[in-house]
C-alpha cells in the first residue's frame, strides 16, 4: 500500500480544527467538478450555490431561518453522540413535536393570549421527548439497538402526520388539500426582522448551544456521559449509570428536535402539512459531526449546511439542477470530514519504499 | 556485545538457527528496540529476559513477522532473510505461542488449528493429527471441543499443538507460565525439554528468573530496548539476573509477618456464600464463595485467570448487583444491592485489573481520571457542576505523594507508562482513605520499581488499619505481601490459610482444583 | 376454495415472495459483512444507487443482464467508498455508514431525476417446468423472475461458504477476533474489504430488483427503509443465513397483508397500515434483543470495532 497511517503519540489538536476546513474545501472542489461534469461553468455555479443565496438581507434571513432547526437539533444530538447514544430519530422527533405543537395550536384556534405560543412550543418539546422516550425505553429495558428503533420511528412519525393532515386534522376550508387550518396569530412566532420569515425562535438556537455546552463541559452528568462514551468499562467501574445517560441523551435531543418542529410550523409554515422538514433531523447528524460535537462548531456547521439547502433551491431555479444536489453536497461534506479526521490520530505517509528491513 | 563476529559461528556446531543483528524498531515517542543482537543455536532453549516494557514483545513480533524492524538484519540458519508476515515465518519453521492467545472462542480446537496452520486438509484428518501430536507430547486435548469450554492451561496447549503440527525449528514462547499453575508449568517444561532434545530451538520469554534458570542454557537480557547482557542463566543467581534486568539492586518491601494473628481486627469485608452467574457467555460462575477480610490484614486470592476472578471482582465492586443483599457485607452492612458509588461511600476503594480502559479513561486527563472514582470526595462537585480546580489539586497530590512520573494533572492517562498509571490509580484510591481496598492484579505488566512502590503502599495502608484484598495470578507477589491466602478455582474458593503455613506446592494443587485433600481421602 | 379465492391466495403468495426478495438480498449481504466484523449502515444508500443505476442502464437499452451488472457494480463502488473510510482510514463505522446512506439517497435522487416517470419492461418471469403447474404454490413460488431464484440460491451458497468452507472459516475468524487473526497472519483488512464488497454487490441486486422487477420504475427514495429493515433482519436472524431468509419472508408477508387489507375493506387508513413493516421491525428487534446473552453469543465479537494493526 502506498498510503500508510502512522500513530501520533498524541491526537493533534491543530487537526481537530483543520480537518473540517479541509473537508469543506474538498467539498467545494468536488462540487465544482460535479457542476463542470454537468456542463456548467464551475465557478459561476459554485457562486450560485454558495454565495448568491446569502447576498441579500432577505437571503441572510432565510439562511438563519434554516440554520436554526439544524443547530437546535445538532447541539442536542452531540450530547448523546458523546455518550455513544446514536439517536438517528431526530427527524421523527421533530415531526412528533410538530404534531403535538400543531394539535395544541389547532385546539387553541382563535384563542387569544400571550401564553398560547409558549405553550405550543412546550407541547412540541414534550411531543419530541415522549417520542424519543420510545427508543430509550426499548434500549434500556430490552437492549434493542437505538439506531434501528429510532430510525424506524422516523417513518412511522411521517406516516402518522400524513394520516392526520389527510384525515382528522384536515382543514375544513382547504379544498381537500392535505393540510390543517392556518394557525391563528396567537400561536405564531413573531418575526425578528420585518418582511422576512425569520422569527424570534432563532434566538433559542444559541441558548440551546450554551445549555448544551454547560451540560457537556461543566456538569457531572455530562462528565459521566463522556466517560461512558469513551470507555464504557470505566463508566461501569465508576458506577455511572448507562441507562440514565441513554434516557437523558434521548429525551434532551427529543425535546430540542420537537422544539425545532414546533418552530417550523409556528414560524415559516404556519400550519400542519405532510412535510414539515426537508430532512433537518438527518442533516443535523452531519452538523453535529462537522461541528466536532462542540456547540460553537455546530453553530458554524449548521450555517454551512443551511447554505446547502439555499444553494440547492437556487441552482434548481437558476440552472435546473435537481434539488437533491443539496443532499449530495451534505453527503460529500460528511465523507470528506471522516476522511480528513484521520489526520487527528494519524500521520499519513506516502512512501513507495515498503517497510523493509534494510540490509545492515 | 554490539560487534558482529560472523566467523565464529561457523566454527561451532554449524550456523546459528537464528541470528539477529542490530534490530531497531522505533515507535512514535518510544525506541522499542535499539540495535539488538541475539543468537540462538539449534537444539537449545534460549531465554529472552527483561522487565515489562523492555522491548521483548516487539523483538519477538519482529522475528515472527508480525512487525517489521526499521533497521537490522535477520539471519535464518546462516542466511540473511526477511520475514514479511507470520505465514512466511511459519513456512520457514518458526512457531509462536502468544501470551494473549490468538484463539477463536466459539470455534473448535481443530478449526483453530486449521486457521493457525494454514493447513487445508479436511478437518477430520486434521483432528486425527491433533490427537496424535497432543498424545506424543503429553498435551491432553480433545480436538472437537470449543475453545470457550477449555481452561486457560488447555488453551495454551492448543496454541502449542498448533505450532508443533508444523514441525517448527524454532518455537517462541511468550511468558507461557503466567497462566499456569506451578504443576502445569512443570508439565510444560517436560514438553519443552522433549522438544529441545529433538533438535528444536526455543526462544523463551519471561521475567521469572527461577524458571529461566531451570530450563534455559542461554539468556539475552534486555533493558530499556537495549541488550544489557548475555549469559548462561545456570551459572547466575536470581539476584545477578535481576540486576542485569533492572539495572540496580532493588530493595523489595517485605510484609512484616510476625506470628500475630491477623484475624483479630474487626471483619471489614464479609463475603458469605456468594454465587454469581457468568458475566460473559464463556466465563465461570461463582459458586458459594465465603471469606472475611479483617482490618489491618492483606488477604490474597490466588488462582489461574478465568476461574471466576472477573465475576468476584464485579460482585465486590458493585458493577453487578447480587440478589442476596447480605452475601457481601462491608462493616456489617449488606451491600449486595448497592452500586459502586454507594459502596465507595462506605469506605471501599477499588483498583481493577485493566488499568487503561476500566481504571482510567485513556483519552482523559489525570485530573478527569481523578474525578472518575474520587467524585464522592467532598468539594469535587457542587450542585451537579464539576469543580475542576479541586480535581486538578487532587490529581496533583496523587502525582506528588506516589511519585507518579507524568506531565502533570493535565497529561492524558494514555501517555503514562503502565507502572506509572498503576501508581496513579492505586494512589487515587488510597488518597480517598479507604477502610477497605480491593485490588486486582496490582503489579501485572508493571516494571519492578513501580511494583515495589505499589507493594510498599499496600503494606502501609494495611498497617494503618485498613483491610486490603489482593487478587493476583502472581504467587511471588501474594507470598511477599499477604497475611492470608485463599485460592479460587472453577468459581470456588478454598479456605484461607496464613501465608507462613502454606507452600507454593500446596497453593499450586489448589489452583489446579484439588480442594480439601484430606476430606476426599477420607 | 373457489377458483377466484385460489387465484387470490396464489397472487398473495407470489406478492409476498416479491416483497421479500430485496430484503433477502440486502440482509444476506449485510450478514456476510457483519460476520467479518464490519457494521455497514449504508445499505439504504447502496441499494438506492444500485436501483437507479440498474434502472438507468435498462432505460438506455443495455439489456437486463447488463443492467443488473451495472447496478451491482455501482453498489460495489459505493461499498468501496465505505471500505476506504471505515477500514482504510479507520473512521467510525456508524458514522461512515450513515454518511453512505445520506450520500446514496441524495446522489440517486440527483442522477435519477430525469428517469422519474419513464417506463421499463419488467424482468420476465421464468416458469419452472412442472413445479409451476402445482396449484396454489406453483404460480406463487415457481413463476418468478431470475432474481427471485438467485436470492434463494444466494442464501444457500452463503450458508455453505460460511460454515463449510475454508474461506468462511477465515471470514468468521476475522469477525470474531481480529487481533488473533492478524497475529496468525491473515489480512484482516483484506478479508473485511471483500466482505464489504460482497455486501455492496448484494445491495446492488436488491436495488436492481426493486427498480427492474418489483415496481419497474424509478422513484426517489424507493427503497423506503428496506435497507434498515434488512439490518434489523440480520440481528433477528442471529447472524444465520437461513433465519435471515425466514425473517425476510415474514416481512414480505407483513408488507403484502398491509396492501391487501385495503382490498379486503379493512377500515384502517392506509397511512396507519403502511406503518406496519416499521412497527413489525421494532417489535421483532425488541423480541430478539430482550435476551442479551443470546445476542452476545451469536454476534461476531469484533462487530463494529476498529482494527489497529501496528503494535
Please state, for a pLDDT cut of 70, what percent of chain B lies above it: 93
Instruction: Round to whole Å and give the CA distance between A117 and B116.
Output: 68
> What pLDDT is recorded for position A329?
93
pLDDT band at B257 (very low <50, low <70, confident <90, very high): low
> What pLDDT is recorded for position B4?
45
> N- to C-terminal Cα distance for chain B?
60
Instruction: Round to whole Å and give the CA distance between C155 and A3.
Output: 36
Give the list of residues 6+ apart from residue C75 with CB closer than 8 angstroms, or none. C46, C47, C49, C50, C53, C200, C201, C203, C204, C207
Whether residue B28 and residue A360 make contact (CB cut-off 8 A), yes or no, is no
User: Closest partner residue to A237 among B29, B359, B384, by Cβ?
Assistant: B359
Beta strands in B196-324 (DSSP E): 201-206, 218-223, 226-231, 267-276, 286-294, 298-302
Each residue's pLDDT tens digit, C104-118: 999 999 999 888 888
- % helix, strand, coil for chain B, step of 5: 40, 25, 40
Give the three-state DSSP class for B293.
strand
pLDDT at B119 over 80: no
Beta strands in chain C (DSSP E): 125-127, 143-145
Beta strands in B123-281 (DSSP E): 170-174, 201-206, 218-223, 226-231, 267-276
In total, the C-beta contacts within 8 angstroms joining chain B to chain C are 55
pLDDT at C132 over 70: yes
Whether residue B386 and residue A223 make contact (CB cut-off 8 A), yes or no, is yes
Residues listed for chain C: 311
pLDDT band at A352 (very low <50, low <70, confident <90, very high): low
pLDDT at A203 over 70: yes
| Mean pLDDT for the stretch of residues B147-172 | 87
Q: Check CB contact of C292 with chain B, cutoff 8 Å.
A: no
Q: Check CB contact of A219 with chain B, cutoff 8 Å.
A: yes
- Please give, rounded to a whole number of angstroms, the shortest distance from the CA of A240 to a CA of chain B: 8
pLDDT band at B6 (very low <50, low <70, confident <90, very high): very low
> What pLDDT is recorded for position B9?
44
Q: Which of residues 80-139 of B touch C (CB under 8 A)?
A: 85-87, 89-90, 98, 100-107, 111, 114-116, 118, 120
Nearest to C51 by CA among C230, C220, C211, C225: C211
In total, the C-beta contacts within 8 angstroms joining chain A to chain C are 136
pLDDT at C311 over 60: no
The answer to whether the CB of A336 falls within 8 A of the CB of A27 is yes
pLDDT at B493 over 80: yes
> What pLDDT is recorded for position C292?
82
What is the per-residue DSSP string for B431-485? TT--SEEEEESTTTT--HHHHHHHHHHHHHHHHTT-EEEEE-S-HHHHHHH-SEE
E strand or H helix that includes residue C167: helix C166-176
Of A123-137, B436-450, C115-129, the range with the highest mean pLDDT is: A123-137
ipTM confidence = 0.90
The mean predicted confidence, pLDDT, of chain C is 90
Backbone angles phi and psi of B102, in degrees to 5 = -100, 70
**β-pairing, B436-440 with B267-276?**
unpaired
> What pLDDT is recorded for position B261?
67
> What pLDDT is recorded for position B3?
42
Write the CA distances from A96 to A136, A274, B13, integer angstroms. Answer: 16, 12, 83
Whether residue C107 and residue A322 make contact (CB cut-off 8 A), yes or no, is no
Query: CA B397, B402, B405, B410: dihedral to nearest 10 degrees?
Result: -30
The mean predicted confidence, pLDDT, of chain B is 86
Each residue's pLDDT tens digit, B401-455: 999 988 889 999 988 888 889 999 999 999 999 999 999 999 887 888 888 999 9
E strand or H helix that includes residue A154: helix A146-166
> What pLDDT is recorded for position B516?
59
Instruction: Taking the CA atoms of C281, C52, C259 and C274 in sequence, report the sign of the dihedral they define.
Output: positive
User: Closest partner residue to A322 among C110, C281, C290, by Cβ?
Assistant: C110
> N- to C-terminal Cα distance for chain A?
24
pLDDT band at A360 (very low <50, low <70, confident <90, very high): very low
pLDDT at A167 over 60: yes
Whether residue C183 and residue B281 make contact (CB cut-off 8 A), yes or no, is no
Instruction: Taking the CA atoms of B106, B112, B115 and B120 in sequence, report the sign of the dihedral they define.
Output: negative
> What pLDDT is recorded for position B256?
66
Q: Residue A26: list chain C partners with CB under 8 A.
A: none
Q: Which of residues 482-511 of B touch C (CB under 8 A)?
A: none
Whether residue B102 and residue C181 make contact (CB cut-off 8 A), yes or no, is yes
Whether residue A327 and residue C224 make contact (CB cut-off 8 A), yes or no, is no
Q: Residue C81: list chain A partners with CB under 8 A.
A: 335
> What pLDDT is recorded for position B513?
77
> What pLDDT is recorded for position C8?
82
pLDDT at C243 over 70: yes
The answer to whether the CB of B276 falls within 8 A of the CB of B285 is yes
Whether residue B372 and residue A236 make contact (CB cut-off 8 A), yes or no, is no
Instruction: Taking the CA atoms of C24, C29, C30 and C34 in sequence, report the sign of the dihedral they define.
Output: positive
Q: Check CB contact of A4 with chain B, cutoff 8 Å.
A: no
Whether residue B115 and residue C181 make contact (CB cut-off 8 A), yes or no, is yes
Instruction: Round to whole Å and give the CA distance between A273 and B449.
Output: 71
pLDDT at A40 over 80: yes
Q: Which of residues 166-205 of C touch B (CB under 8 A)?
A: 166, 169-170, 172-173, 176-177, 179-186
Each residue's pLDDT tens digit, A290-343: 998 999 999 999 999 999 999 999 999 999 889 999 999 999 999 999 999 888
Q: Which three cell numbers stand for residue C257?
A: 397483508
Q: Which of residues 227-286 of A touch C (CB under 8 A)?
A: 282, 285-286
The mean predicted confidence, pLDDT, of chain A is 91
Amino acid at each position: 500500500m502506498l498510503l500508510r497511517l502512522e500513530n501520533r503519540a498524541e491526537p493533534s489538536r491543530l487537526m481537530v480544527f483543520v480537518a473540517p476546513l479541509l473537508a469543506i474545501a474538498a467539498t467545494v472542489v468536488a462540487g465544482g467538478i460535479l457542476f463542470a461534469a454537468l456542463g456548467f461553468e464551475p465557478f459561476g455555479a459554485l457562486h450560485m450555490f454558495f454565495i448568491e443565496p446569502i447576498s441579500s438581507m432577505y437571503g441572510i434571513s432565510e439562511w438563519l431561518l434554516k440554520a436554526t432547526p439544524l443547530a437546535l437539533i445538532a447541539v442536542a444530538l452531540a450530547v448523546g453522540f458523546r455518550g455513544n447514544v446514536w439517536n438517528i430519530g431526530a427527524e421523527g422527533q421533530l415531526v412528533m413535536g410538530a404534531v403535538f405543537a400543531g394539535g395544541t395550536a389547532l385546539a387553541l384556534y382563535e384563542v387569544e393570549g400571550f401564553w398560547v405560543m409558549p405553550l405550543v412550543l412546550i407541547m412540541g418539546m414534550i411531543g419530541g421527548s415522549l417520542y424519543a422516550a420510545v427508543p430509550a425505553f426499548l434500549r434500556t429495558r430490552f437492549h434493542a439497538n437505538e439506531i434501528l428503533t429510532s430510525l424506524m420511528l422516523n417513518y412511522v412519525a411521517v406516516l402518522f402526520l400524513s394520516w392526520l393532515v389527510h384525515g382528522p386534522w384536515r382543514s375544513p376550508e382547504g379544498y381537500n388539500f392535505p393540510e390543517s387550518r392556518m394557525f391563528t396569530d396567537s400561536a405564531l412566532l413573531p418575526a425578528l426582522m420585518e418582511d422576512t420569515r425569520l422569527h424570534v425562535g432563532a434566538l433559542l438556537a444559541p441558548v440551546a448551544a450554551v445549555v448544551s455546552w454547560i451540560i457537556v463541559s461543566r456538569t457531572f452528568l455530562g462528565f459521566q456521559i463522556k466517560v461512558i462514551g469513551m470507555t464504557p468499562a470505566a463508566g461501569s467501574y465508576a458506577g455511572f449509570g448507562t441507562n440514565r445517560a441513554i434516557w437523558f441523551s434521548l429525551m434532551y435531543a427529543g425535546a430540542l428536535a420537537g422544539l425545532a418542529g414546533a418552530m417550523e410550523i409556528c414560524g415559516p409554515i404556519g400550519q400542519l402539512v405532510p412535510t414539515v422538514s426537508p430532512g433537518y433531523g438527518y442533516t443535523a447528524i452531519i452538523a453535529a459531526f462537522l461541528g466536532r460535537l462542540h456547540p460553537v462548531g455546530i453553530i458554524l456547521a449548521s450555517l454551512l449546511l443551511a447554505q446547502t439547502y439555499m444553494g440547492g433551491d437556487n441552482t434548481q431555479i437558476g440552472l435546473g439542477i435537481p434539488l437533491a444536489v443539496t443532499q449530495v453536497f451534505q453527503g460529500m461534506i460528511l465523507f470528506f470530514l471522516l476522511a480528513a479526521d484521520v489526520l487527528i490520530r494519524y500521520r499519513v505517509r506516502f512512501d513507495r519504499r515498503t517497510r523493509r528491513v534494510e540490509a545492515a | 556485545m554490539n560487534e558482529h563476529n560472523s566467523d565464529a559461528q561457523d566454527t561451532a556446531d554449524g550456523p546459528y538457527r537464528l541470528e539477529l543483528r542490530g534490530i531497531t524498531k522505533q515507535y512514535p515517542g518510544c525506541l522499542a528496540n535499539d540495535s539488538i543482537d541475539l543468537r540462538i543455536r539449534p537444539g537449545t532453549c534460549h531465554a529472552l529476559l527483561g522487565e515489562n516494557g523492555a522491548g521483548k514483545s516487539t523483538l519477538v513480533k519482529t522475528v515472527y513477522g508480525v512487525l517489521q524492524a526499521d533497521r537490522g538484519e535477520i539471519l535464518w540458519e546462516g542466511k540473511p532473510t526477511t520475514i514479511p508476515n507470520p505465514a512466511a515465518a511459519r513456512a520457514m519453521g518458526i512457531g509462536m505461542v502468544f501470551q494473549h492467545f490468538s484463539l477463536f472462542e466459539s470455534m473448535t480446537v481443530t478449526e483453530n488449528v486449521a486457521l493457525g496452520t494454514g493447513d487445508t486438509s479436511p478437518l477430520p484428518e486434521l483432528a486425527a493429527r491433533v490427537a496424535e501430536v497432543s498424545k506424543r507430547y503429553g498435551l491432553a486435548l480433545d480436538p472437537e471441543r470449543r475453545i470457550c469450554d477449555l481452561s486457560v492451561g488447555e488453551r495454551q496447549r492448543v496454541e502449542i499443538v498448533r505450532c508443533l503440527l508444523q514441525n517448527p525449528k524454532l518455537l517462541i514462547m511468550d511468558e507461557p507460565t503466567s497462566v499456569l499453575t506451578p504443576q502445569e508449568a512443570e508439565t510444560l517444561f517436560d514438553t519443552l525439554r522433549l522438544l529441545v532434545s529433538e533438535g528444536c530451538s526455543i526462544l523463551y520469554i519471561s521475567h521469572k528468573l527461577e524458571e529461566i534458570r531451570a530450563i534455559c542454557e542461554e539468556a539475552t537480557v534486555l533493558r530499556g530496548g537495549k541488550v544489557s547482557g548475555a549469559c548462561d542463566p545456570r551459572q547466575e543467581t536470581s539476584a545477578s539476573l535481576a540486576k542485569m534486568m533492572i539495572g540496580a539492586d532493588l530493595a523489595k518491601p517485605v510484609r512484616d509477618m510476625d506470628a500475630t494473628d491477623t484475624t483479630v481486627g474487626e471483619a471489614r469485608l464479609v463475603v458469605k456464600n456468594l454465587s454469581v452467574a457468568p458475566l460473559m457467555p464463556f466465563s465461570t460462575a461463582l459458586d458459594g464463595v465465603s471469606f472475611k477480610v479483617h482490618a489491618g490484614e492483606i488477604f490474597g486470592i490466588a488462582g489461574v485467570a478465568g476461574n471466576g476472578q472477573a465475576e468476584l471482582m464485579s460482585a465486590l465492586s458493585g458493577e453487578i448487583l447480587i440478589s442476596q443483599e447480605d452475601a457481601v457485607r462491608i462493616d456489617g452492612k449488606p451491600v449486595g444491592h448497592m452500586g459502586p458509588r454507594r459502596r465507595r461511600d462506605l469506605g471501599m476503594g477499588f483498583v481493577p485489573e485493566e488499568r487503561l480502559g476500566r481504571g482510567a479513561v485513556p483519552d482523559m486527563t489525570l485530573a478527569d481520571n481523578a474525578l472518575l472514582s474520587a467524585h464522592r470526595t467532598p468539594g469535587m462537585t457542587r450542585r451537579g457542576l464539576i469543580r475542576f480546580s479541586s480535581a486538578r489539586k487532587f490529581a496533583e497530590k496523587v502525582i506528588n505523594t506516589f511519585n507518579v512520573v507524568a506531565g502533570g494533572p493535565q497529561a492524558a492517562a494514555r501517555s503514562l507508562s503502565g507502572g506509572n498509571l498503576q501508581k496513579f490509580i492505586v494512589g487515587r484510591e488510597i488518597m480517598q482513605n479507604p477502610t477497605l481496598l480491593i485490588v486486582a492484579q496490582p503489579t501485572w505488566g508493571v516494571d519492578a520499581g513501580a511494583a515495589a512502590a505499589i507493594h510498599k503502599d499496600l503494606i502501609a495502608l494495611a498497617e494503618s488499619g485498613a483491610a486490603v484484598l489482593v487478587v493476583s495470578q502472581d504467587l511471588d507477589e501474594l507470598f511477599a505481601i499477604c497475611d492470608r491466602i485463599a485460592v479460587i478455582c472453577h468459581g470456588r474458593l478454598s479456605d484461607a490459610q496464613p501465608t507462613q503455613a502454606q507452600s507454593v506446592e500446596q497453593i499450586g494443587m489448589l489452583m489446579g482444583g484439588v480442594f480439601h485433600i484430606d476430606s476426599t481421602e477420607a | 376454495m373457489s377458483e377466484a379465492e385460489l387465484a387470490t391466495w396464489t397472487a398473495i403468495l407470489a406478492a409476498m415472495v416479491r416483497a421479500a426478495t430485496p430484503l433477502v438480498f440486502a440482509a444476506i449481504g449485510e450478514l456476510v459483512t457483519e460476520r467479518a466484523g464490519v457494521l455497514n449502515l449504508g445499505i439504504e444508500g447502496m441499494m438506492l444507487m444500485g436501483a437507479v443505476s440498474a434502472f438507468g442502464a435498462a432505460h438506455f437499452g443495455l439489456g437486463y443482464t447488463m443492467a443488473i451488472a451495472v447496478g451491482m457494480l455501482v453498489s460495489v463502488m459505493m461499498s468501496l467508498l465505505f471500505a476506504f473510510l471505515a477500514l482504510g482510514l479507520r473512521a467510525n463505522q456508524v458514522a461512515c455508514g450513515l454518511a453512505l446512506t445520506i450520500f446514496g439517497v441524495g446522489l440517486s435522487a440527483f442522477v435519477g431525476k430525469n428517469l422519474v416517470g419513464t417506463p421499463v419492461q419488467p424482468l420476465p418471469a421464468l416458469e419452472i417446468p412442472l413445479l409451476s403447474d402445482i396449484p396454489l404454490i406453483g404460480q406463487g413460488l415457481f413463476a418468478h423472475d431470475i432474481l427471485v431464484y438467485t436470492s434463494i440460491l444466494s442464501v444457500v451458497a452463503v450458508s455453505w461458504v460460511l460454515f463449510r468452507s475454508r474461506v468462511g472459516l477465515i471470514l468468521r475468524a476475522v469477525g470474531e477476533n481480529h487481533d488473533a487473526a492478524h497475529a496468525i497472519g491473515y489480512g484482516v483488512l483484506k478479508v473485511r474489504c471483500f466482505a464489504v464488497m460482497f455486501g455492496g454487490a448484494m445491495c446492488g441486486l436488491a436495488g436492481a430488483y426493486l427498480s427492474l422487477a418489483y415496481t419497474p420504475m424509478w422513484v426517489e427514495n424507493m427503497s423506503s427503509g428496506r435497507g434498515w429493515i434488512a439490518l434489523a433482519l440480520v440481528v433477528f436472524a442471529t447472524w444465520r443465513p437461513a433465519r435471515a431468509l425466514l425473517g425476510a419472508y415474514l416481512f414480505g408477508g407483513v408488507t403484502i397483508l398491509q396492501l391487501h387489507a385495503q382490498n379486503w375493506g379493512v377500515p384502517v387508513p392506509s397511512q396507519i397500515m403502511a406503518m406496519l413493516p416499521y412497527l413489525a421491525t421494532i417489535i421483532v428487534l425488541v423480541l430478539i434483543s430482550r435476551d442479551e446473552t443470546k445476542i452476545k453469543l451469536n454476534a461476531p465479537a469484533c462487530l463494529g470495532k476498529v482494527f489497529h494493526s501496528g503494535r
